[in-house]
Amino acid sequence: MKIALYGQKFIDKNIPYFIKFLTYAYKHSIEIYIEKSFFDLLSSFNELKNLKFPIFYNYNELTKDFNLMFTFGGDGTILYAITLIRDTGIPIVGVNTGNLGFLATFNQEVLIKKLDQIFNYKFHICPRSLLWLETSILDKKKQFFNFALNEIVILRKETVSMITIDTYIDNKFLTSYWADGLIISTPTGSTGYSLSCGGPIIAPDNKNFVITPISPHNLFSRPLIISDNKRIHLKIHSRGHVQYYSLSMDTRLTSLKEENELYIKKAPFYIYLIQEQEYIYYKTLREKLLWGMDQRN
């Protein structure tokens, strides 16, 4: 078996679990490749400074013969990891060393207990849809990854004035949002930025996207759920002399001129997340959102 490891942060209390993980992999002849920046971070700890594992540097080196990728961190770590995995179909085991962890559902103690199950393929694979920004306007030199697992967000830039976002669904005019911005979210991202702006929670197995305005100036603007087989077309207009707007795709941010129109649809591939066999999405919602924690219940 061949696996990849990736993380963005690492602290002392994670070391014992990580050593147990490496020891298990070594005993079971599992090939480990570590992303370069994560390898450098791990090597900064005395207990891990003598690590001797192959390194990979970018997505070109993550070939389809990798069986799994383990991410150590939170949901943000997984969001960046998909820029490495892309359309290879390599499943992700999200190890939650962060805080909330909607996507990274294995805590470190559970991971160690479940290693036999994971490496013997006794788990549930959850496919997650992505948004695809169809555009040639992004700077190719920056290698901007134009897919998003959570959401694509359009935001006003360097102004307190609202922007106007003309929105079309399958070339049919929907409305012009007067707002601070607009969120196009997948079911996975429905528990993120969209939720904080009043959007609905959508279970991951639904085939939908949600359009959520940010601080809309239209009194009756509300989030809208649409089928994920629709194509969204956006035209952005700003007030005054500002001719740019901000475009966010998960954790990646760039600026575009307002003359640049956006076309968004469902990506032609999925990201696959590994969950425990007994994993129940609604249980995760209940625990992460503290449903029922009111003492009156």
Q: Which residues are catalytic?
A: 75
Q: To which residue do tokens 């190719």 refer?
A: 140
* Beta strands 92-96 and 68-73, pairing class: parallel
- In Å, how far are 40, 56, 174 from 5, measured between CA atoms? 12, 9, 43
Residue 162 contacts residue 217 (beta carbons within 8 Å): yes
Between CA 267 and CA 129, with CA 191 as vertex, the angle to 5 degrees is 15
- In Å, how far are 33, 38, 70, 210 from 51, measured between CA atoms? 11, 12, 17, 44
The whole-angstrom separation of Cα 81 and Cα 71 is: 7
* Beta strands 68-73 and 2-7, pairing class: parallel
